[in-house]
Amino acid sequence: MTPAAMSDDKPQSVYVTPRQESPLLFEGVTWREFKAVEQLLDRPGYRLSFLDGVLEIRKMPGEAHETVKKRIAALLELYLLMTGFDFTPTGSMTLESESGAVKREADESYKLAPGRVRPDLAIEVVFTSGGINKLEAYKRLLIPEVWFWEDGVLLVYHLRFEGNSLHYERVSSSEEVKGIDLDLLLRCINIVNHVDAIKTFQQALSK
């Protein structure tokens, strides 16, 4: 179950569509075997993830997924520009660690200051069920914050360091993108027309 699936208060979204197929999962795969399969499937149309010996093969998402993904990116980048962040979009860059037995590609990701080794923020747009534990994967990769959009709900998780342990805590406001109004952001994500959404968000930020 994905984090957003645990929410009981999902508003109706203009992007809700019939769910796509669940990903294919193969257990007991070594890192070397995973890398070999990755080379064999290095072609458009597939996305591979890996965690603790489980290989996930997922077909690339369709139009609804890409529409939400690009909407979030456009709104977020507008906010980052208008509020003075020195940021770098890193998109679906490959994030992997052989020692952590993990490989993941976010839908969108961002470095929010110069000199970052890894993204400060990863964004997942969820239209399918099942698959590897996404938060566990990002924890292994030490991504400070992860956003999940699913069925019109936006959930934010921030990485906490407590002693020698790490865990994600669900938070009500972003600690990486300081000051962003998540309620406003979500309303604009769910506006049907893309241009109207951008204009509405920009006008609110300009007040």
pLDDT for 151-200, tens place per residue?
A: 899 999 999 998 888 999 999 999 999 999 999 999 999 999 999 999 99
**What pLDDT does 13 receive?**
52
Q: CA 133: distance to chain centroid?
A: 13
- The residues pairing with 185 across neighbouring beta strands, listed in sequence order, are none
As a whole number, the mean pLDDT across the chain is 89
Q: Is the pLDDT of residue 16 over 60?
A: no
C-alpha atoms less than 13 angstroms from C-alpha of 187 in its C-beta half-sphere? 11
Give the model confidence (pLDDT) of 45-80 as tens digits: 788 999 999 999 988 778 888 999 999 999 999 999
Number of domains in the chain: 1
Q: Which domain holds residue 177?
A: 3-206
Contacts 24+ apart (CB under 8 A), 7-13: 7/153, 7/155, 9/153, 10/150, 10/151, 10/152, 10/153, 11/152, 11/153, 11/190, 12/152, 13/151, 13/152, 13/190
pLDDT at residue 111 in the model: 97
pLDDT at 40 over 50: yes
pLDDT of residue 8: 43
Beta bridge partners of 161: 166
Residue 62: per-residue pLDDT:
83
**Is the CB of residue 105 less than 8 Å from the CB of residue 95?**
yes
Q: Of 19, 15, 14, whose CA–CA distance to 127 is shortest?
A: 19
Mean pLDDT in residue range 116-123? 96
Average pLDDT over residues 134-155: 95
| Spatial separation of the C-alpha atoms in residues 114 and 116, rounded to whole Å | 6
CATH of the domain at 105: 3.90.1570.10
Residue 115, CB half-sphere, CA atoms under 13 Å: how many?
0
The least confident of 42-46, 131-135, 178-182 is 42-46
